[in-house]
Structure 1
Amino acid sequence: MAIGYWTVIVAAFSLLVGYISLPVSCRYEPNWDSLDKRPLPLWYDEVKFGVFISWGVFSVPGFGSEWFWYDWQYKKDKALVDFMKKNYPPGFTYADFASQFTAEFYQPDHWADIIEASGAKYIVLITKHHDGFTNWPSNVSFNWNSMDVGPKRDLVGELATAIRKKKGIHLGLYHSLFEWFNPLYLKDKANNFTTRYFPVEKSLPELYELVNTYKPDIIWSDGDNPTWTYWKSPEFIAWLYNDSPVKDTIVTNDRWGDVLCKHGDFWTCHDRFNPGHIIPHKWENCMTIDRGSWGYRRNIDLNTFLTIEELVATMVETVSCGGNLLMNVGPTHDGRIIPIFEERLRQVGQWLKVNGEAIYGTKPWSHQNDTVTKHLWYTSKKNSAGGVDVYAITLEWPANGVLQLGAVSAATHTQVTLLGYPKPIKYRQQTKGLLINVPFIPISAMPCQWGWTFKLSNLKY
C-alpha cells in the first residue's frame, strides 16, 4: 500500500529514536514506561532475516503439531487419539517419547552451514516449548531435559558454539514462560494466579540460566497468559538491560504476559504477523515454511510447503514495511533438517546473494508498494554520497518488456541498474511514472528467477 511521505517520516523517526545511544550510566526501572525508553540495538534492525528452529520431544510423534501433548491429552483430538491407539501400546505417555528424542544425526556445524547459506543473520532455537522439556541441562528441570534423557547432549550449547564460528550470525533463544501440565503452574492456575510458585521456582530461574550460560542476543519469550505481573516480566527485562552479560546487545519480543503489540524491543503480535504497512515500532514476522505446523510432521506432503516464490514475496513485503522475517523449520527427532527445508533455505540464500543489497540494512521508503504495478515493493538505503538509493523489487518479470513504477519520479541524473546485471538500464519518465525498458536476458543468464531488484539512484523528491 502506498502511504504519505510525511507519515513514513514520522514512523521512521520513531524507529530512529530507538537507535540513538543513551548514556552508559542510564539504568532502567522494572516498569514498562522505563523499559520502553531503551533504544533498540542497531544490529537487530540491520539484519532483517533469521531462521527459527522448532525442535523438541514433540518432533518424535511428528504428527499434528508441536502442541501434540496438549491436543492429545487435554483436547482429546480424535485424530491424535486414533493415531496413538493405532501406533503405540496402551498406557504409553507423552513422557515416553523423550527416550526416542535421540538426535543421533544432529550435526550442529552442518545446521550452521545451512543457516549461513540461507543468508540468515540470526537464529532463534527453541530451548523449551510448552511441554517443559529443556534442550539444555537445566538445573530446574530434573530428568526432563536433553542431558538426562533422550539425546544425552546439550543441544543448545552445541548449536551456540557452531553458530559463533560463523561471522555475522546472532544467537537467539526461544523460551516458553508456561508449561501445560507442570504441577507448580497448575497449582498457581488453581489459585487464579494469586500465587507465583511456577515463575519463581521454575520459569525465571531457567531464563537467568539461559542468559548467563549461553549469552544470546535475543530472548524470544512465548506466553501471553496470564498477566505480566504474574511472570514478573519487567523485573527480568530490567536485569537483562542493566546487569546481564548481554545488556548492550540483547533484544526481546513482546510475549511476556498480556503485553502483545504493546511492549518489548520488537513486536510479534501473533504468529505470522504481517500488517502490510508501516507501524510505529520495530516488528517481526515469525512464520513457517510448513503452512500447518512449526514442528516436524512425518505425514506432510509437498503442497503444504511454501514455494520459494511465496517465501521471497513474504520477505520483500515484510522488509519493505519495516519488519524482520523469521522463517521456521522443524527438524526431525534424530536431528536432521530434511532436504526440502534445506532446499528452501538455500534458495532464499541464492536470492539474497543477488538481491541482499535491497534487504540488509534498508529502511522503509515513502511508498511500500507501487501505485500502478502489482507485486512490486520498495526499500531504501543511504548511499556513500549522502543520498538515498531506492530499490524496486518486482516479483513478476514484465511480459511486455516495460516495467512501470507509478511511485517514482526521475531527475536529471537518475540512474537505474538491475542487481546482478552488469549494464545500465534505460528508462523514460512519463506522467504516470517511470517506465523502465527491461533488457532481454536469456533464462540461463537471469540474475535470479524469483524476484528482481531495480536500483534507483538520484531520484527526484
Structure 2
Amino acid sequence: MESRLIGIQLLLLLLLGSVESAFRAHRRYTPDWPSVDSRPLPDWFDKAKFGVFVHWGVFSVPAFGSEWFWWHWQGQRAPAYMRFMSDNYPPGFSYADFGPLFTAHFFDPEKWADLFQASGAKYVVLTAKHHEGFTNWPSPVSWNWNSQDVGPHRDLVGELGTAVRKRNIRYGLYHSLFEWFHPLYLFDKNNGFKTQHFVTAKTMPELYDLVNRYKPDLIWSDGDWESPDTYWNSTDFLSWLYNDSPVKDEVVVNDRWGMNCSCRHGGYYNCEDKFKPSSLPDHKWEMCSTIDKRSWGYRRNMVISDVADEAEIISELVQTVSLGGNYLLNIGPTKDGLIVPIFQERLLAVGKWLSINGEAIYASKPWRVQLEKNTSVWYTSKGSVVYAIFLHWPENGVLNLISPNATSTAQITMLGIQKDLKWSTNPQKGLLIYLPQLPPSALPVEFAWTVKMTGVE
C-alpha cells in the first residue's frame, strides 16, 4: 500500500512538472512592461558570473580619447579632438574616411576565443554596432557602412560567434538603439520623437536581423537615454524575442530600452556604467567595467596609470559576485584586430585566479551576510557550503570572521591547498581560522584567497 501511495505521488509530481513546463512553453508575453518583466531570467546567466566585453569599431582607427571620438570631434567640437585631427589628418578628412582604415588585418577569432576561454569568461559580448552606426556585420540597412562593404570586408560578428561557441562560451551582442548623426534619427529627434522613421527603417530591422542571423544568447542594448521606450517600440521587440524568436528560451537582455527603463525594466539591470550597489539588490544585475579606466575603445594614448591592475579587477569581481551580480570586463582591440599585451595579461590573470577560486564564484549565490563589517572579507555560498574570500592577508596569519557560526562538525579548507585548516571560536572575536604558514610564493594565488567552510551557519 505504501509503495503504491509513493507511486501515485511520483506520478502526480511528474504530471505537475509537465503541466508547469507546458505552461511555461505556451505562455505568451504581451508587449507591455508588466508582462515582459514577468519573464524569468534564464538561469545560465546567473551561473556564468564573469564575461568579457569587446568594444571594437571605426572609433578604433583614430584610437584617441574614447569610443565617443566622433561625437567629441563633430558633435561637441572639443578643442583637443579638433587639434588631434588637424595635427594628424589632411583638411576635409571626414569620419567616413576612417572606415577603410578599420582593416581588422590581424583579427584571428580563434586566438581571441582562446584568450577569452583562458580568462575564465563564460560569456562574451561584442559591439555589433556602437553610436557611430557602423555595423560589424553585413547589415542590410547599413549600406556601405558595415564591416562587409568597408574596411575588413568580413563578417566580424559571425566569425567571432563561431569561434566563441566552439568553446562552449555564451555569445552576446551589444547594439546601440540610436546613432549620433543618422539623418532619420535627427529628423525624429527634431520632431520630439513623435515620428519613428529611424526606428522602422534602421533600429528594429537591425535587431531582428541580428537575432535571426546570429541567435545571440544575450542582447546588450544601449543608446536609450534620449527617448522613451515607446519611441523604440521596445516592448514589441521584447515580446517577439520571448515568444517567437529562435532564442526565446535562452536569450537574456539588459535594461537599456528607453530613457525610463534603466534599473526598472528589461531582463537583468545594468543601471549605469560601472554600477556598484552598496547592499544586496533584489534583482539580478551586472557590473560592466573596463581595464582602461578612461575608455571602452582602444586608445593609442593610454598610459599604464590608466590601466586597472590585477588586484583591482579581481577585487571588483569578488565584490560584484558577493552582491549577486555578474562582472563584465571590457577590452578595446586595435583597428588591426589585435588585443594589446597589457589587456591579454589582465585577462589571463583573472583566468589564473578563477582556476583556483572559481568554485566560490561560478554558480554561487549570495550568502545571508555579504561582507564582514570593517574588513575586506566577502562571502558567497553554494547550498550548505560557505566561501569567505579575503582580499588582505592578516598580519598575524589568523583570519577572524564574525558572521559564520561554526558547529562541532565544521570543516575549513583553503582553495588550492589540500589539507584542513585549524580553527577555534572565541566569544568576543568569533571564528578564528589559522591560515597555512607558507612563503608567499607557495600560496595558490597572489591576492584574494578563499576559505571554504562546511558545517557553519
TM-score bracket for this pair, using the shorter chain length: over 0.9
Q: CA contact under 8 A between 1:276 and 1:317: conserved in structure 2?
A: no
SS of residue matched to 2:24: coil
Task: Say whether 1:416 aligns with 2:412.
Answer: yes
Match of 1:73 in 2: 74
**Aligned residue identity for 2:327:** L
**Aligned residue identity for 2:135:** T
- Say if 1:208 and 1:298 are closer, same or farther in 2 by CA, change over 3 A: same
SS of residue matched to 2:115: helix
1:284-308: CA deviations, max 9, x gaps?
0011011000000001111110000
Match of 1:118 in 2: 119
SS of residue matched to 2:343: helix
Equivalent residues in 2 for 1:25-104, closer than 5 Å: 25-104=26-105
Gaps of 5+ in 2: 1-19
CA separation in 1, counterparts of 2:339 and 2:447? Answer: 23
CA separation in 2, counterparts of 1:292 and 1:456? Answer: 39
CA separation in 2, counterparts of 1:450 and 1:115? Answer: 21
The count of residues paired between Structure 1 and Structure 2 equals 435
Residue 443 of structure 1: CA displacement?
Answer: 2.3
Match of 1:140 in 2: 141
CA separation in 2, counterparts of 1:436 and 1:20? Answer: 46
1:328-347: CA deviations, max 9, x gaps?
00000000000000000000
**Aligned residue identity for 2:73:** W
Residue 20 of structure 1: CA displacement?
Answer: 9.6
Match of 1:6 in 2: none
1:59-110: CA deviations, max 9, x gaps?
0001010000001001111111110010111000111001100000000000
CA separation in 2, counterparts of 1:325 and 1:22? Answer: 33
1:199-250: CA deviations, max 9, x gaps?
1110000000000000010010002220000000000000000000000000
Residue 318 of structure 1: CA displacement?
Answer: 0.2
Task: Say whether 1:173 aligns with 2:173.
Answer: yes
Match of 1:458 in 2: 455
Match of 1:324 in 2: 326
Match of 2:386 in 1: 390
Residue 269 of structure 1: CA displacement?
Answer: 0.6
Match of 2:221 in 1: 221
Match of 1:442 in 2: 439
Equivalent residues in 2 for 1:358-397, closer than 5 Å: 358-371=360-373, 374-382=375-383, 388-397=384-393
Q: CA contact under 8 A between 1:378 and 1:390: conserved in structure 2?
A: yes
Match of 2:207 in 1: 207
CA separation in 1, counterparts of 2:24 and 2:42? Answer: 14
| Identity between Structure 1 and Structure 2 (%) | 57
Residue 445 of structure 1: CA displacement?
Answer: 1.6
Task: Say whether 1:400 aligns with 2:393.
Answer: no
Residue 409 of structure 1: CA displacement?
Answer: 1.4
Match of 1:105 in 2: 106
1:152-188: CA deviations, max 9, x gaps?
0000000011011102x10000000000000000010
**Aligned residue identity for 2:175:** H
Match of 2:423 in 1: 427
Task: Say whether 1:183 aligns with 2:183.
Answer: yes
Gaps of 5+ in 1: 1-18, 383-387
1:31-52: CA deviations, max 9, x gaps?
0000111011010000100000
SS of residue matched to 1:127: strand
CA separation in 2, counterparts of 1:318 and 1:21? Answer: 35
Greater radius of gyration (CA) = 2
**Aligned residue identity for 1:445:** A
Q: CA contact under 8 A between 1:71 and 1:77: conserved in structure 2?
A: yes
Q: Which ranges of 4 or more aligned residues in structure 1 deviate by more than 4 Å? A: 19-22
2:343 pairs, out of 326, 333, 341, with 341
**Aligned residue identity for 2:406:** A
Match of 1:245 in 2: 246
Give TM-score, length-normalised by structure 1.
0.93
Residue 123 of structure 1: CA displacement?
Answer: 0.6
CA separation in 1, counterparts of 2:409 and 2:21? Answer: 33
CA separation in 1, counterparts of 2:24 and 2:60? Answer: 45
SS of residue matched to 1:421: coil
CA separation in 2, counterparts of 1:434 and 1:21? Answer: 48
CA separation in 1, counterparts of 2:162 and 2:92? Answer: 39
SS of residue matched to 2:410: strand
Match of 1:8 in 2: none
CA separation in 2, counterparts of 1:444 and 1:189? Answer: 60
SS of residue matched to 2:240: helix
- Say if 1:20 and 1:224 are closer, same or farther in 2 by CA, change over 3 A: farther
CA separation in 2, counterparts of 1:241 and 1:289? Answer: 33
SS of residue matched to 2:380: strand
Equivalent residues in 2 for 1:244-263, closer than 5 Å: 244-258=245-259, 259-263=261-265
Q: CA contact under 8 A between 1:276 and 1:318: conserved in structure 2?
A: no
**Aligned residue identity for 1:430:** N
